[in-house]
Structure 1
Amino acid sequence: MFTGLIQALGSMRSHGEDRFQISCLPEASSSLLSDLAIGDSVAVDGVCLTVEEILPMGFVAAASPETLSRTTLGERQRASTIVNLEASLRVGSKLGGHFVTGHVDGIGCLQESTQTANSWEMSFTAIEGFGELWQRTIARYIIPKGSIAVNGVSLTVADCDPSGSWFKVSVIPHSYAETNLSYLQTGNWVNLEGDILGKYVEKFLRYQPNSLVDAPHTASLDGITPAFLAENGYL
């Protein structure tokens, strides 16, 4: 479990077909490496990876074929790149972002990045080339004012289209400067993870078993209306 608050930036290089060497940048905070141990989980651009080897200024982690096929890591095996790094959340730690699992839902593409007086406005779309199913998987969890992790960075959706396949976020200068969002160029790919709470709500609404032994069946949502939600404190 992570928070989406990036602790450090690192450079990533291929260390074999499915292994990566991540080196923290010199100016990165030492808090990430101070108590890092083999077997720990680290979010690398929002992808939860397991530390297999500790290096003086970084670590080595492996990615499964599933992870390589569903995230941007698979496209970066032959190049050095700057990645966002966050160690897993510990009991008692501050939760300043939102609950991030490190299980990427889909791939996005940066459409536009514009600097305003007090922020950077960045818009993204899902990439159809990675499959229509992936686009539907992430899009349905994107709602105005909802939470989303872009390359592991916890952000709030400022605007989106009705389907959720296009959305815009407003990034404050600190988050922009301290993450690899500042390195992105139009057309670059990013990892997207929707809010886990929305996934469970969807699951509970869609399936309601009649008993402990009955198979789940699709529930009627006719009674779930904006008026109903407002009356019960959800809007």
Structure 2
Amino acid sequence: MFTGLIEEIGTLRSVQRQGEAMVLTIGAGIILNDVKLGDSIAVNGVCLTVISFDRSQFSVDVMPETYRHTNLTELSPGSPVNLERAMMAGGRFGGHMVQGHVDGTGVIRSRRAEANAVVFTVEPHKAELLRTVVPQGSVTLDGISLTVVDVDREAGSFTVSIIPHTLAETVLQHKRAGDTVNIENDILGKYVDHLLGLRDREQPRRTGLTESMLRENGFMA
């Protein structure tokens, strides 16, 4: 579990590819202070497991499922990446509940300045991702906990507003229109949506009065 508060920007040092599998080696500093084999580290919002490390870098496996559903495939040596260690029990919860399980990717449609903020408009590649994106709710872009400003369901996009500190401390500073981002929707909305969907499939809603409905509810013998 993560909070969506980026601890540092790392630098991708090497990529080893084998089909739809990869091993990424990433240069870092802060997050290596207490790292152990098997630790979870979110890389651009993707929860990955440390398989080796030294004082200046760590390596992680990327499996085919992750390869196909995130923007990690677009990385090359020298690419900056957002990094966050899994949260500690009893620590401050400054963002929101982030699993590191990316729901899909989206493309940045526009980036514009608004006073001291920068507003990004993002269009998910899968339209169904908008089902659980709620204005003033939470969303994670490349591992960053952000608040949704607005949702335009007709255009198939949503907007987020970034303060200067967040922009300067994350890879969003490098993102422009046409770039992709990893999207993880709020876990609470996903569970509610899933459970309501199960209910509707198991007990289809009926519209209007029918003889069978009246019989089932005791209004007819």
Q: Bin the TM-score by the shorter chain.
A: 0.7 to 0.9
- Identity percentage over the alignment? 39
Provide the rounded CA distance (Å) in 2 between the counterparts of 1:218 and 1:163: 30
Provide the rounded CA distance (Å) in 2 between the counterparts of 1:164 and 1:198: 21
- Give the match for residue 95 of structure 2: 97
- Give the match for residue 112 of structure 2: 114
Provide the rounded CA distance (Å) in 2 between the counterparts of 1:163 and 1:221: 28
CA deviation vs aligned residue, 1:22-57 (integer Å, no higher than 9, x gap): 102xxx6x2x21111110000000001000001221
TM-score by length of 2: 0.86
User: Of the candidates 116, 120, 133, which is equivalent to residue 142 of structure 1?
Assistant: 133
The structure where strand makes up a greater share of residues is 2
**RMSD over equivalenced CA pairs, Å:** 1.9
| C-alpha contact 1:13 1:22 (8 A) present in aligned 2 | yes
| C-alpha contact 2:130 2:153 (8 A) present in aligned 1 | no
User: Of the candidates 179, 196, 202, which is equivalent to residue 217 of structure 1?
Assistant: 202
Mark the runs of 5 or more structure 2 residues left unpaired by the alignment.
208-221
- Give the match for residue 172 of structure 1: 163
Q: Which has the larger radius of gyration?
A: 2
- Give the match for residue 10 of structure 1: 10
Q: Which runs of 4+ in 1 moved over 6 A?
A: none
Provide the rounded CA distance (Å) in 2 between the counterparts of 1:180 and 1:7: 12
Provide the rounded CA distance (Å) in 1 between the counterparts of 2:34 and 2:204: 47
1:69 has 2:68 as partner: yes
- Give the match for residue 132 of structure 1: none
Task: Report the AA paired with residue 22 of structure 1.
Answer: I
TM-score by length of 1: 0.81
| C-alpha contact 1:43 1:49 (8 A) present in aligned 2 | yes
> How far does residue 203 in structure 1 lie from its aligned partner after superposition?
2.1
> How far does residue 220 in structure 1 lie from its aligned partner after superposition?
3.7
| C-alpha contact 1:109 1:189 (8 A) present in aligned 2 | yes
| C-alpha contact 1:38 1:51 (8 A) present in aligned 2 | yes
Mark the runs of 5 or more structure 1 residues left unpaired by the alignment.
128-134, 210-215, 223-235
> How far does residue 204 in structure 1 lie from its aligned partner after superposition?
2.2
- Give the match for residue 192 of structure 2: 201
> How far does residue 186 in structure 1 lie from its aligned partner after superposition?
1.4
| C-alpha contact 1:151 1:190 (8 A) present in aligned 2 | yes
Residue aligned with 2:98, SS: coil
Residue aligned with 1:140, SS: helix
Aligned residues, how many? 203
- Indicate how the Cα distance of structure 1 residues 221 and 206 shifts in structure 2: closer, same or farther if over 3 A, else same: farther
